[in-house]
Chains A and B, each alone.
Chain A
Amino acid sequence: MRHTISVLVENKFGVLSRVSGLFSGRGYNIESLSVGETIDPAISIMTIVTTGDDLVVEQITKQLNKLIDVIKVVDFMEIDHVEREMVLIKVAPRKDDKTEVLQLTEIFRGRIVDSGPSTYTIEITGNEGKINAFIELIKPFGIKEFVRTGKVAIAREGLKKAKQTREAS
């Protein structure tokens, strides 16, 4: 099962390495990871996407909680939440295809953030499904460069079945 886990950590040097070391040391894979400061600059938030059966993910969340610099761990598996990811794609369509690329971008509510003599750079934001669908559609037009941010997630307000792993464990 795929889990999106958000980890609130002290914003200190070496914390990222403690967290990633915990995964690599146990042979767990990180599919994506995004890190940024919170409103409180002393705290950072990491959003990690990982795959494992229930026991593995239980160990991951417990081990994360055990790290001294980790303040809170939330596994979004059982929480109603919003996920977003952004990709920047540089495409080089042939002259005849340019209109179609622009149309596709519009349908997916993307934006052209840069254009050159032969390329467009498209910005797309959304959940995984939307982004993957867009990538599939745009592929035939010739992707030159491609970057994605990794997921970020936030719980929806009002639905309080939130299971915070620290309390549960």
Chain B
Amino acid sequence: MKKSGAEILIECLKKEGVKHIFGYPGGVVLNIFDILYDEKDVQLFLTRHEQGAIHAADGYARASGKVGVAIVTSGPGATNTVTGIATASMDSIPIVVFSGQVPTLLIGNDAFQEADIVGITRPCTKHNFLVKDVKDLAQTVREAFHIASTGRPGPVLIDLPKDITAGSTEFVWPDEVKIRSYNPTYQGNKYMINQAVQMIAQAKKPVIMAGGGVILSGAAKELKELAELAKIPVTMTLMGLGGFPGTNKLSMGMLGMHGTYYANTAVQNADLLIGIGVRFDDRVTGRTEAFAPHAKIMQIDIDPTSIRKNVRVDLPVVGDVKNVLRDIIKATKELKEQQWGAIRNAWLKQIEKWKEERPLTYRFDKNIIKPEFVVEKIYEVTKGEAIICTEVGQNQMWAAQFYKYDYPRRWLSSGGLGTMGYGFPAAIGAQLACPDKIVFDIAGDGSIQMNIQELATAVINKLPVKVAILNNGYLGMVRQWQELFFKERYSHTHLESGNPDFVKVAEAYGAVGLRATKPEEVEPIIKESLKIKNRPVFLDFIVDWKEKVYPMVPAGASIDEMIFEEEEKKEEKKLKAVK
């Protein structure tokens, strides 16, 4: 029996096990939306902006490990997805985006709501397709999900001209998918793995640097096993948080620009740096020539282009992180009796000393709310069990520093692209994927306004997402840079006078709004928000606007050239002198 392209599309989604999709209708996708009207197994969630739909699909994917799906219309609907797609691309998140397109015959004619979305998204997707024949539709969808979710994951876009979804053909679901030009390397090379085991055994001061690849490959268990077996301290990149338990004794927290003193110091003193599922981003390495100067660098990654892109690598191992770690663990266990404790004792003691010397800290104030205090309280009240989404800027860094992530897929943040407006829609996606979990979006008053319209999506679907707005009346991170490096000239970073009353905004949408202006009000409103199970909650924390994120490595400096809060004034003078 023949089916329409739109019907085939939905059948394909069912075959892929898709239950929830996000989207926004429009002229050329009406055929698809018409099928969704009666559809029971695939449920579409209407966002209030296409960017929100993509971030929601992205959050859904990050929280669940499944492929996130979104459907939008042509032209502006499609171009609105670009920021979301680029966000997913930079963080290697598997999503499949279906965009409507004008009928095949009109393509290239500047038709109404036409945009060359395949051309526009080519550099920010893992791959994209334009379907030109309805007979190719099922095969294309199959390939798209395969490409998005395998190898180094990433976003895939399928452009669907109106005549394709309106056309009809026999529905044939391809049993298997084989793309001759796409064969990711999953198993690490044996020789390289043996070398890796030797390097680990011989190292006196090793450090593991774990990234998003650990989470994407589902290798948290293996990472913990290796670290504990060979007694190697672990630091995580922003994307790697939760890949190794933050409360584990071997954890040194995050490294890099706003990393901990002990993580950065350990990397700079290490004799072996083991990068696992990382790409040595500039926010992590600082000045690359001065990065890990005494260390041999080993890098394990499924994507060969990540290797030797930013830093020298002494031992590359291309393969799926999980498989490679398993092989390394197995071979390490077969080594002749290693007295790991004795070998590493001095190094681990040294790290303990650095931890005591300069712990991650802030100055509590009993009169004004410190933003770090809010994050700490959220951690305490949720017992570290919540899914934390963030926006971008100071809120993101404090959320990374002061919440300890013990499990993977509980930390959802736009790491690579740094997309303001990511957190709230991502939290909506995460809440749908994990209805039993507490989901917080830690936001700033700037970021939340970038996708605040999604309050409607959360309210209508009764999603109890909590948005903790660290409201300092500024674009805080930019303001921090202006204060430190631009002579306190706060050009266009002051938001307070234009900010709405966030409690009223929430109420206007039918959500709950709560506010804390004093430290003693923080915990009560967090607890109150947890009681609300059928609506989103905005928690407006009026925080100290002067608070800055520390430690901080100025851009272009080496990661051991850190500024700390107590040295702020002194360092500022020094920096100004340098400039």
A interface with B by C-beta (< 8 Å): 9-10, 13-14, 17-18, 21, 25, 55, 58-59, 62-63, 65-66, 68-71, 169
Q: Are A62 and B305 in contact (CB under 8 A)?
A: yes
If A65-B304, A68-B182 are given as contacts, then 5 extra A-B residue pairs at C-beta distance below 8 Å, sorted by A number, are: A9-B181, A55-B308, A58-B308, A68-B147, A69-B181
Q: How far is the CA of A10 from the CA of B130 in the complex (A)?
A: 15
Q: Are B123 and A25 closer than 8 Å at their CB atoms?
A: yes
B123 near A59 (CB under 8 angstroms)? Answer: no
Q: Check if B304 sits within 8 Å of A62, measured CB to CB.
A: yes
Residues of the B chain whose Cβ atoms lie less than 8 Å from the Cβ of A66? 303-305
* Sampled A-B contacts (20; CB under 8 Å): A9-B181, A10-B181, A13-B130, A14-B130, A17-B119, A18-B122, A21-B122, A55-B308, A59-B305, A59-B309, A66-B303, A66-B304, A66-B305, A68-B126, A68-B127, A68-B182, A69-B181, A71-B180, A169-B304, A169-B318
What residues of chain B have their CB less than 8 Å away from a CB belonging to chain A?
A: 118-119, 122-123, 126-127, 130, 147, 179-182, 303-305, 308-309, 318
Complex: how many Å from CA A71 to CA B308? 23
A32 to chain B, nearest CB (A): 22
Contact between A63 and B305, CB atoms less than 8 A apart: yes
Q: List B contacts of A68 (CB < 8 A).
A: 126-127, 147, 179, 181-182
Instruction: Across the A-B interface, give the 4 residue pairs with the lowest CB-CB distance, nearest first.
Output: A169-B304, A68-B127, A62-B305, A71-B181
In Å, the complex CA distance between A70 and B122 comes to 15
Nearest B residue to A169 via CB reads: B304
- B343 to chain A minimum Cβ distance, whole angstroms, is 33
- In the complex, chain B residues whose CB is within 8 Å of the CB of A21: 122-123
Bound form: Cα–Cα A13–B133 in Å: 14
Residues of B within 8 A of A59 (CB): 305, 309
- Expressed in whole angstroms, the Cα–Cα distance for A13 and B309 within the complex equals 29
Given the complex of chains A and B, what is the CA–CA distance between A29 and B85 in angstroms?
27
A17 to B127, CA, bound (A): 12
Task: Please name all residues of chain A whose beta carbon is closer than 8 Å to the beta carbon of B308 when the two chains form the complex.
Answer: 55, 58
Interfacial chain A residues near B180, Cβ < 8 Å: 71
Question: What residues of chain B lie closer than 8 Å to A17, measured between beta carbons?
Answer: 119, 122
Interchain CA distance A25-B86 in the complex, whole Å: 14
**Quick one: which of B130, B179, B180, B304 has the most chain A CB within 10 A?**
B304
**How distant is B146 from chain A, measured CB to nearest CB, in Å?**
10
Q: How far is the CA of A156 from the CA of B467 in the complex (A)?
A: 65
Closest to B129 in A: A14
Residues of chain B with a CB closer than 8 A to A25's CB: 123
Q: Give A74 Cβ to nearest chain B Cβ, in Å.
A: 14
Contacts of B127 in A (CB 8 A): 68
Q: How far does the Cβ of A148 sit from chain B's closest Cβ, in whole Å?
A: 28
- How far does the alpha carbon of A63 sit from the alpha carbon of B308 in the complex, in Å? 12
Give, as a whole number of angstroms, the nearest-CB distance from B151 to chain A. 9
Tell me the bound Cα distance from A9 to B304 in angstroms.
Answer: 19
**B119 and A70 within 8 A (CB):** no
A14 CB to nearest chain B CB (Å):
7
Greatest chain B CB density within 10 A among A9, A58, A66 is at A66
Closest to A65 in B: B304
**Shortest Cβ gap from A26 to chain B (Å):** 10
CB B300 to nearest CB in A, in angstroms, measures 14
Q: What are the residues of chain B within 8 A of A63 when measuring CB–CB?
A: 305
Residues of A within 8 A of B305 (CB): 59, 62-63, 66
Provide the residues of chain A in CB contact with B118, threshold 8 Å.
Answer: 14
Closest CB of chain A to B149's CB: distance in Å? 14
Closest chain-B Cβ to A16's Cβ sits at a distance in Å of: 11
User: How far in angstroms is the closest Cβ of chain A from B124?
Assistant: 10
Chain A residues near B122 (CB-CB < 8 A): 14, 17-18, 21
Most chain B beta-carbon neighbours within 10 Å: one of A14, A21, A66, A68: A68
Cβ contacts under 8 Å, B179 to chain A = 68
A8 → chain B closest CB, angstroms: 8
| Chain B residues whose CB sits within 8 angstroms of the CB of A169 once the complex forms | 304, 318
Question: Which residues of B lie under 8 Å from residue A70 when comparing CB positions?
Answer: 181
Cα distance A100–B413 when bound, in Å? 72
A58 vs B305: C-alpha distance in the bound complex, in angstroms? 9
Q: Given the complex, which residues of B lie within 8 Å of A62, measured CB to CB?
A: 304-305
- Taking the closest CB of chain B, its distance from the CB of A111, in whole angstroms, is 39
Who on chain A is nearest to B143 by CB? Answer: A68
Q: Which of B118, B179, B182, B305 is the most central at the interface, judged by chain A CB atoms within 10 Å of its CB?
A: B305
Complex CA gap A71/B181 in Å reads 4
On chain B, the residues within 8 Å of A9 by CB distance are: 181
Bound CA–CA A17/B303 (angstroms)? 22
CA–CA, A17 to B12, complex, Å? Answer: 29
A42 to nearest B CB, angstroms? 10
Bound CA span A25–B125, Å:
13
Q: Which of B118, B130, B308, B318 has the most CB of A within 10 A?
A: B308
Complex CA gap A88/B127 in Å reads 38
> Shortest distance in angstroms between A166's beta carbon and chain B's nearest beta carbon?
9
Task: Report the minimal beta-carbon distance from A131 to chain B, rounded to whole angstroms.
Answer: 33
Q: Complex formed: what's the CA distance from A86 to B216 in Å?
A: 49
Q: Which residues of A contact B181 (CB under 8 A)?
A: 9-10, 68-71
Per the bound structure, the CA–CA distance linking A53 and B25 in Å amounts to 49
Q: How far is the CB of A145 from chain B (nearest CB, A)?
A: 31
- Chain A residue at smallest Cβ distance from B119: A17
For the complex formed, measure the closest distance between the CB of A35 and the CB atoms of chain B, giving whole angstroms: 16
CA distance A62 to B184 in the complex (A): 12
Q: Give the residue name and chain of the B residue nearest to A58 (CB).
A: B308
How far, in whole Å, are A55 and B122 apart by their CA atoms in the complex?
Answer: 24
